[in-house]
Amino acid sequence: MKRKGIKILVWVLLSASLFMVGQTFVSTAYKAVTQQVNPECLFNADYASSDDLSNVARSIISELNFWQQDAADKPEFTTTPSLFHYYAANGSREITNSDNMVKADYLKQKFHYVLDVPADVNGAKTENTFRNVGADPVGNGKLYMSIPAETIAGWQKTWTQNRIYLEHQLLLILLWGLISLAFLVYIVIAAGRKAGDDQLHLLAVDRWYTEFLLALFVSLCVIFAYLFAGAFNSYYVFHWEELTPEAIGFSVAMATGVFMLSLMVMMPLIRKIKAGTFISGSLSYRILRRCWIAVKKTVLGLRSFFDGSAYKEHLLTKRLFRSQTVYILGSAGLLLFCVILSAASYSAFPVFLFIVLELIITWWYVAGNKKTYSEINEGYVESLKEQVKSENTKTALITNVSHDLKTPLTSIITYVDLLSNEEGLSDTAKDYVNIIAGKAERLKHIVSDLFDLSKSVSGNIPLEMDVLDMRTLMEQTLADMKDPIENSGHTLKTSLGQGTATIFSDGKKLYRVFQNIIDNALKYSLAGSRIFIDLTSTDGKVKVTIKNTAGYEMNFTEEEILQRFTRGDQSRSGDGSGLGLSIAESFTQSCGGTFQLDIDGDQFKVTVEFSTVETVGKESV
């Protein structure tokens, strides 16, 4: 059976056993009250020594005392008069239920009370065998009373019967109580738990404020108490007809229902205690915490408000802060001084003095600040100028150096071209011309790469950012590089996945990035080895990895290879500028992505990562 099924079953059993507890308790109590079953019998098995007997005797005696004081009415006994004997006299009048008994007969009985108050005898004499019954004479005449042994024996019998009955009922209540307790303990332990794990499972209701749940719980408890007490109240207070067992059952069932409800309300509280959120999940805790935080913030705020240490390093603002403090403290002190002076002298002069002095320090304050402000502004303007100047210098430098390098290069390339078309050149001369042409071409690439890199690194590169699909871009790049890939003799293992991987970037620059990375892999891979290109798109990220096995020992670190002009083979032979990976890294970063290079033995891995964007209004057809 599932844990949940067990739980429901336990709840049902708990309500049943609680009902039994209530039912037994109420019916027993009802019987005890209506049939005058004295619970004393539970503690005292011997009726002769019970308080009950004393009460009976006391009641008879006090009734006879009443009659002695005011003989107008006959005594009305709560105990049936046939069960005892009495004789009472009041001056001329007498009353008895045993005409043939004399004082000696009363004294013969085991339980007797004999009071003799003759008018001529000093001090009355009382003979009393009842426990806890006043032995001092209260009446003003003779009063004899005795309870015969047969009566006591009869009462003892009823007493014992009641004792057995009550014991039985109490045992029942105890038993059902224990069963209920066991169920309750199970429910409390199982609260918030599920089969199969050790986690605490909280429900939405568990997030209610503790106070609210408590209030609900308490009010349900009150209703429960009221309903439970109602089982008696209906008899005692209103003196309605005698309660039938059905009425008791109904009342107890209602009370049990309410009790179960309050238990259910208790469950979130129990889970809260288990989760440790009983206090922290309460409204007052939160309010208090907010207040505490607010107080703390205010205190800290006030402290930092008057804390000038932050300005220590800056001369101008330090000066401003100092004059501000002096101004505030000075004004406050002046005000206080003048108020006291004014109150002491009953004159308006201090007010006038205050205004004049306050004007003077305000003038000092404003004039001082004005100077500082203008100094700050000058500095700010100066630093802005510097910044713009250095920015301009940087851009101008790149542009001018670029121009200065490209102009002679243009001449070289053009003249080499003219030279190669010249007729009558020897074969050797033609070879030389070809070498110069090749090197000029390489120089052109290096210069071009160098300026792309320096522009990118200095942040002077114009970007054309747009929404594009990384997967399409990779497919296009690979299609575009089809010839160099096929000529390289390497096999490309590509796994680009499915669907769109939309990013916001500069497609042209990204093409350069991947072209450079793949170029690098083609150039420096071990002959015949495979190159792996993977594209994965997860958790809002598109990741492209290019892995290859180097064809030589990579005796450099990731940082070194990315440093400008560091070449993979370090001997700086062959073609290419050696800037490919640096450009790839810089472009990737300019375009908003991350570029990571890992060298692990002969494994060379480049990872380019971009955040994806929501596909909205893609502009392709």
Partner 1 sequence: MNQHNITILVVDDDKEIREAIGKLLLHEGYNVITAKDGMEALEAMAEHPVRLILLDVMMPRLDGLSATMKIREKNNIPIIILSAKGEDSDKVLGLSMGADDYVTKPFHSQELVARVKSQLRRYMQLGDMDAVKSKSRIVNGRLEMDLEAKSLLVDGEEAKLTPTEYKIVELFMKNLGIVFSAEKIYEMVWHEESYAVENTVMVHVRRIREKIEINPREPEYLKVVWGVGYKIEKERQ
Exposed, middle or buried: residue 529 (CB in 10 Å: 0-12, 13-18, 19+)?
A: middle
Could you say which of 406, 442, 541, 605 contacts partner 1 (CB under 8 A)? 406
Q: Write out the two tokens for 454.
A: 């320096």
105 lines the binding site for partner 1 (CB under 8 A): no
CA dihedral for 206, 210, 216, 217, sign (positive or negative): positive
- With beta carbons less than 8 A apart as the criterion, state whether 590 and 510 touch: no
403 binds partner 1, rule: CB under 8 A: yes
Q: Are 271 and 264 in contact (CB under 8 A)?
A: no
31, 274, 444, 605: which one binds partner 1 (CB under 8 A): 444
Question: Is 410 one of the binding residues for partner 1 (CB under 8 A)?
Answer: yes
Q: Is 619 in the site for partner 1 (CB under 8 A)?
A: yes
Q: Does 345 bind partner 1 (CB under 8 A)?
A: no
Q: Is 498 in the site for partner 1 (CB under 8 A)?
A: no
CB of 620 to partner 1, least distance (A): 5
Cα separation of 499 and 475, whole Å? 13
487 contributes a contact to partner 1 by CB under 8 A: no
Looking at the Cβ atoms of 338 and 440, the one nearer to partner 1 is 440
DSSP 8-state code for residue 406: H
Q: How many residues does the chain have?
A: 621
- Please state the closest distance from residue 464 (CB atom) to partner 1, in A: 8
Of residues 505, 537, 548, 586, which one binds partner 1 by CB under 8 A? 505
Count of residues in contact with partner 1, rule CB under 8 A? 42
399 binds partner 1 (CB under 8 A): yes
d(CA 148, CA 129): 13
Compare residues 27 and 402 and give the one whose CB is closer to partner 1: 402
462 binds partner 1 (CB under 8 A): yes
The answer to whether residue 468 forms part of the interface with partner 1 (CB under 8 A) is yes
Residues 6+ apart with CB under 8 A from 84: 60, 97, 145, 146, 147, 148, 151
Q: Which of 244, 309, 421, 571 binds partner 1 (CB under 8 A)?
A: 421
In this chain, which of 476, 536, 566, 607 binds partner 1, going by CB under 8 A?
A: 476
- From 7, 458, 371, select the one nearest 194 (Cα to Cα): 7
C-alpha pair distances (Å), 132 with each of 50, 148, 376: 10, 19, 102
The answer to whether 3 touches 9, Cβ cutoff 8 Å, is: no
- Alpha carbon distance 5, 190 (integer Å): 12
**Residue (of 17, 57, 47, 275) closest to 147 by Cα position:** 57
Q: Does 480 bind partner 1 (CB under 8 A)?
A: yes
Q: Which CB atom, from 539 or from 619, has the smaller least distance to partner 1?
A: 619
Task: Give every strand in the sheet of 541-549, ordered side by side.
Answer: 491-495, 530-538, 541-549, 603-611, 594-600
- Residue 385 CB, shortest distance to partner 1, in Å, is 25
Alpha carbon dihedral 2, 3, 4, 5, in 10-degree steps, equals 60
Task: Report the nearest approach of partner 1 to the CB of residue 293 (Å).
Answer: 48
Rounded least distance, CB 441 to partner 1, Å = 9
Query: Which one of the spans 177-185, 254-262, 289-297, 613-621 is the region binding partner 1 (CB under 8 A)?
Result: 613-621
Torsion angles phi and psi, residue 125, rounded to 5? -120, 130
Comparing CB distances to partner 1, the nearer of 432 and 511 is 511
Question: Which residues, at least 6 apart from 95, have a Cβ–Cβ distance to it below 8 Å?
Answer: 64, 67, 71, 74, 75, 86, 87, 88, 89
**Judged by CB under 8 A, does residue 417 bind partner 1?**
yes
Binding region for partner 1 (CB under 8 A) out of 10-18, 252-260, 285-293, 397-405: 397-405
Q: Among residues 5, 100, 482, 498, which is the contact residue for partner 1, using CB under 8 A? A: 482
Tokens of 382: 């100066």
Task: Please report, as ranges, the residues that interact with partner 1 according to CB under 8 A.
Answer: 399, 402-403, 406-407, 409-415, 417-418, 421, 444, 448, 462, 464, 466, 468-470, 472-473, 475-480, 482, 503, 505, 507-508, 510-511, 618-621
